[in-house]
Amino acid sequence: MSRIYIPSTGPDNWQALLADPSKHWRTGYSARTLAHCWERANGLPPEIAAMFDGPSELLLALPEHKVPLAGGQRHSQSDVFALIRFGENTCAATIEGKVNEPFGPTVGEWFADPSDGKRLRLRQICDLMALDGVPPMDIRYQLLHRTASALLEAKRFKTDEAAMIVHTFSAARMWFDDFERFAGLFGNTARPDEPMVLVLRTGQRLRLGWATGNPEHLLL
């Protein structure tokens, strides 16, 4: 995987980075909607900026950013990875775009009859997030590995905190209950468009958020 990145000239540049560029690049779906939203913002979309304390600034955004995890060849691929400055702090954030698409399999579904690689990967994720044992079976695995990716990148870039933010364009707040259960792992109560900031037992600071995007981007 190359570590050289070329600046974007517009939303269409994002399409080539998708696993299936023809299937996943559709009006009204998350990949295309997210690309138009972030490109039009020319910085942080306001709903993402609202997840941080005080004035915030986008330093760098990488669409479809891959982070290697233990136990296999398949990386965790975030819709957007962003380095964000707010006040005197910096944050490594993974952004998960959603419209009506689900979060994928639960831990119970993904970890059924697990291979040695899956056991190793889940152990790494739990260690990063300071979770004891296997998470509850109804937690969505995607939320776990996206958060683990943010924590790994925060260490790599030596930022003050990590963040995992769901950037949703669903007026019905589809799948918010999954995010709510995930936040409950840390003893937090999730609320739409309100950030949660916690300090893990590892000492690492983690920010979680559910940010509602402008639905006008669904039409682009």
Tens of pLDDT along the chain (220 residues) come to: 678 999 999 999 999 999 899 999 999 999 999 999 999 999 999 999 999 999 999 999 999 999 999 998 889 999 999 999 999 999 999 999 999 999 999 999 999 999 999 999 999 999 999 999 899 999 999 999 999 999 999 999 999 999 999 999 999 999 999 999 999 999 999 999 999 999 999 999 999 999 999 999 999 9
In a domain, 3, yes or no: no
CB 139 within 8 A of CB 110: no
pLDDT on residue 72: 84
In a domain? residue 214? yes
The dihedral over CA atoms of 37, 42, 48, 49, expressed in degrees to the nearest 10, equals -160
State residue 2's pLDDT score: 76
Q: Is residue 91 part of a domain?
A: yes
* Residue 74 within any structural domain of the chain: yes
The verdict on residue 189 lying in a domain is: yes
Task: Please state the φ and ψ torsions of residue 218, each to the nearest 5 degrees.
Answer: -65, -20
Q: Is the pTM of this model over 0.95?
A: yes
3-state SS assignment for residue 57: strand
Q: Rounding to the nearest 10 degrees, give the CA dihedral for residues 89, 62, 150, 180.
A: 100
pLDDT of residue 105: 98
> Considering the domain boundaries, does residue 7 fall inside one?
no
Q: How many domains does the chain have?
A: 1
> Containing domain of residue 132, as a range?
12-219
Angstrom distance (rounded) from CA 91 to CA 74: 25
Q: Could you tell me how many residues make up the chain?
A: 220
- What three-state secondary structure class fits 85? strand
Q: Tell me whether residue 23 is exposed, middle or buried, using C-beta atoms within 10 angstroms of its C-beta: 0 to 12, 13 to 18, 19 or more.
A: exposed
Q: Give the model's pLDDT for residue 1.
A: 64
Tell me if 116 is assigned to some domain. yes
142 in any annotated domain: yes
Q: What are the phi and psi torsion angles at 179 (to 5°)?
A: -65, -40
DSSP strands (E only) in the chain: 56-67, 76-86, 89-98, 161-168, 196-199, 205-212
Beta strand pairing call for 205-212 and 196-199: antiparallel
